[in-house]
Structure 1
């Protein structure tokens, strides 16, 4: 069987390089890329078996990048490897075309198993994600928590606000204007039926998004 070629897109050099070495020790050819422009160029110019994608990239929206990859190569499996709990982003990523969702706290054996499964055309779902997906299939949006109905950009703003970041900090990280962040904040507060920042933090704590 041909050697699997894995492109790792993550802005953390230590993690990316460590992952590349680990996968290399498991008979895979793994390349780490921490720059979105170079990553997209690599996807255009080279052949890959699977992409490991971090959702939290300072240069852009990981969910947007996922959609761009799937538009360019619909059959290329993309496995999300994120610091965010699966209950917050897994369904959103799967709907965007991801072949699976893992948190960065998963075991190395699970990562290898997930890669092997998605490169052979399957989806890798943890029991928790499978339950979420089943509930969504059975009940639709009624099965989702209110924050699951936020747009991708609203969700990005939401996650940063509940981490205690200011509107200016969020704008800098997402490369958008403060006015745009404020607009997204107003919309997400309305969708969540919340009145102020304290309500927003309490909601996030209740949902287990922050501790």
Structure 2
């Protein structure tokens, strides 16, 4: 096993810790350390990473948006979320954007290395309480997609894009509409769903099965 791992996190201290951890682990090579995701597609073209350790809360392109970008360009690259967020909205946004695993930053170093090996062998490593939330969600009886909020077909399409972790700019491409129209649709979605943020809209869409994705 010689896995190449790239790290994306805006914390200097954490990047340094992961650099030491990965650099000292047998069978794992550090492919790169990055404080942001603006150039993640070109980064991966150069570093040939097999696994990406991805923080969520980063300036510019966040980790969920970056995960969607990675999976659209490099579907064989595994993204392992490493974050402080353990709320359901972030978990489901990350998984829907294509993340294969989800760990909290308080995970012991040895467990992070185990997760890297596990994810490369077809596993989906998750911190225990994260896995429980996912299992609780899927064990809940789902209903057929409903439109009790009177969402238009276009609004449902835009909402589906949000669920997949797409940015406003990515939605303009997916739906072939202008950025202004995207903003209008999202504003209307927030009003109809009675939410105030993207995370709340995505969580509600997933929990109430409002889209086909």
TM-score category of the 2 structures, normalised to the smaller one = 0.5 to 0.7
Residue 140 of structure 2 aligns with which residue? Answer: 139
In 2: Cα distance, 1:16 partner to 1:184 partner: 35
Point out the structure with the larger helix share: 1
* 2:15 is equivalent to residue 13 of structure 1: no
- Secondary structure at the aligned position of 1:36 is classed as coil
Distance 1:129 1:13, change over 3 A: same
Residue 29 of structure 1 aligns with which residue? Answer: 29
Within a 5 Å distance, the mapping from 1:55-204 to structure 2 comes to 55-139=56-140, 151=162, 188=190, 191-192=193-194
Distance 1:36 1:105, change over 3 A: same
Q: Please list every run of 5 or more consecutive structure 2 residues that lacks an aligned counterpart in the other structure.
A: 144-158, 168-178, 201-213
- Secondary structure at the aligned position of 1:37 is classed as coil
Count of aligned pairs: 165
Contact 2:80 2:102 (C-alpha < 8 Å) held by counterparts: yes
How far 1:137 sits from its partner (Å)?
2.1
Q: Please list every run of 5 or more consecutive structure 1 residues that lacks an aligned counterpart in the other structure.
A: 143-148, 157-175, 195-199, 201-211
- Secondary structure at the aligned position of 1:60 is classed as coil
Q: Deviations over 1:45-104 (max 9, x none)?
A: 332120001111102132111111001111111000112125442222112211111111
Contact 1:91 1:132 (C-alpha < 8 Å) held by counterparts: no
Residue 206 of structure 1 aligns with which residue? Answer: none
Distance 1:153 1:134, change over 3 A: closer
Contact 1:63 1:152 (C-alpha < 8 Å) held by counterparts: no
How far 1:131 sits from its partner (Å)?
2.4
- Secondary structure at the aligned position of 2:38 is classed as helix
How far 1:15 sits from its partner (Å)?
1.2
Q: Deviations over 1:7-59 (max 9, x none)?
A: 00111222112211111111222221113234321212332120001111102
Residue 149 of structure 2 aligns with which residue? Answer: none
RMSD: 3.2
Q: Structure 2 length normalisation: TM-score?
A: 0.64
- Secondary structure at the aligned position of 2:106 is classed as coil
**Greater RCO (CA < 8 Å, at least 6 residues apart):** 2
- Secondary structure at the aligned position of 2:81 is classed as strand
In 2: Cα distance, 1:153 partner to 1:121 partner: 22
Distance 1:139 1:4, change over 3 A: same
